[in-house]
Amino acid sequence: MSWPTQDELDKIRRIVSEMAGKGAEDVRVVVSPYRICPLGAHIDHQGGIVSAMTINRGILLGFVPSGNTQVALRSAQFKGEVRFRVNETQQPRHSISKGEEIKVDKSSPPEECYWGRYAVGALYALQSRGNRLAQGIIGYICGSDGLDSSGLSSSAAVGIAYLLALESANNLTVSPTENIEYDRVIENEYLGLRNGILDQSAILLSSHGCLTYMNCKTTEHKLIHPPNFLKDHEAEPQKGYKILLAFSGLRQALTSNPGYNSRVAECQEAAKILLHASGNVELEPFLCNVEPETYEAYKVKLEPNLARRAEHYFSENMRVRKGLEAWASGELRDFGQLMSASGLSSIKNYECGCEPLIQLYEVLLRAPGVFGARFSGAGFRGCCVALVDTDCAAEAAKFVREEYPKLQPVLASQLNPDTAVLICEAGDCARVI
């Protein structure tokens, strides 16, 4: 694997060794990759079917067991040191005041340690399901250098990193599916976000070169392997692909945008109306509980904005099903076309995105060798992702670097030229080294 490099591992082990006063050989490292979602946008929270894979960039958390209940954490990206104890009972953060449950070093203002909420959330998730921890950690966390991780599920990668570290230090054996639930608890119950389980599922279940499929209603999952054309010498070998990440420079969601939680509420309202119209009032108001035939029969009862949300859900489910077949057959062009259609539906039907992201998406569609593109993440900030022919990856990246600044010169000027467009490879699942 190309990430993490040995130099990256050696650096983080050296830092933790100095923090803890222990040998570098005692330092364990959690590797928690970022994810992309080629197909299955904005439907995980409604129990839809999704696809995902990880990339060779992400979060590294070096740590050693502290020898007592103390947790002490530092970050490469943020100031301050977060401290708390694993035997302290935690409460959901969204019902208490900011910073209340985090103990910080007196030399560090509490607001500087707000980044520690995911670590405390990991403790809360483990405690809430009956785990009693006795061993804290001394740790140092960092993300891939120079990379704006907006839209790449960095929050899920961070939450999973802390879960794996605390579990490792306390010798807890936890399955990937259990950790998917624990990270959902961090996001939904502790932080009060209304997202689904796509991000953590991708990070915990992916395997290099495979497309991860998940049914978010049943939690059924499987790995879709690409075909091995080399067994058939008469067949044309599958074209290789790279993953192109193109960053917008937009780091904060626009205040005029209603945001993520309101879109979830609209989907649930659409489901409620469709279920009531069909006489299925006993079912929970999620679109996964609405049969496609029911949607077609009663969609006229939906007001326009709810109709668009429902149309995105049902059309995206269909794109995922077709995309799984295309991936398994090695039809990257077909897969890419579905990916681009997903991006268009996110704009037209789900109505996420903003002008810079939409322009960046359109630039990617014109780039040489690109099979398909869409927003990465919610589409309110961050980046776009594309699958590109390996042979054209460098040319496509150059094209985007030249064209996007013509449309958004101010935002583009805020980007690091070296990391404004990245050529990435598929990654593996989260793990402890």
DSSP 3-state assignment of 70?
strand
Catalytic residue among 148, 183, 199, 428: 199
Using omega within 30 degrees of 0 as the cis cutoff, is the peptide bond preceding 356 cis? no
Inter-CA distances, 430 with 126, 199, 262, Å: 18, 12, 31
Inter-CA distances, 95 with 89, 109, 189, 190, 192, Å: 15, 22, 10, 9, 9
DSSP 3-state assignment of 211?
strand
Indicate if 391 belongs to the active site. no
Phi, psi of 398, rounded to the nearest 5 degrees: -60, -40
CB 400 within 8 A of CB 228: no
Phi, psi of 83, rounded to the nearest 5 degrees: -135, 135
For 236-292, list the strands marked E by DSSP.
Answer: 241-247
Residue 221 to residue 205: CA distance in whole angstroms: 8
State CA 370 to chain mean position distance: 22
Residue 122 to residue 102: CA distance in whole angstroms: 13
Helix-helix angle 176-184:198-205, to 10 degrees: 150
- Compute the Cα dihedral for 263, 116, 124, 36 and give only its sign: positive
In one-letter notation, the amino acid at residue 74 is R
- Compute the Cα dihedral for 52, 53, 57, 60 and give only its sign: positive
DSSP 3-state assignment of 200?
helix
Residue 122 to residue 32: CA distance in whole angstroms: 14
The angle subtended at Cα 341 by Cα 339 and Cα 342, nearest 5°, is 65
Residue 410 to residue 75: CA distance in whole angstroms: 29
- DSSP notation for 213-229: EEETTT--EEEEPPP-G
Residue 413 to residue 249: CA distance in whole angstroms: 8
- Beta strand 137-143 pairing with 70-75: parallel
Give the active site residues.
199
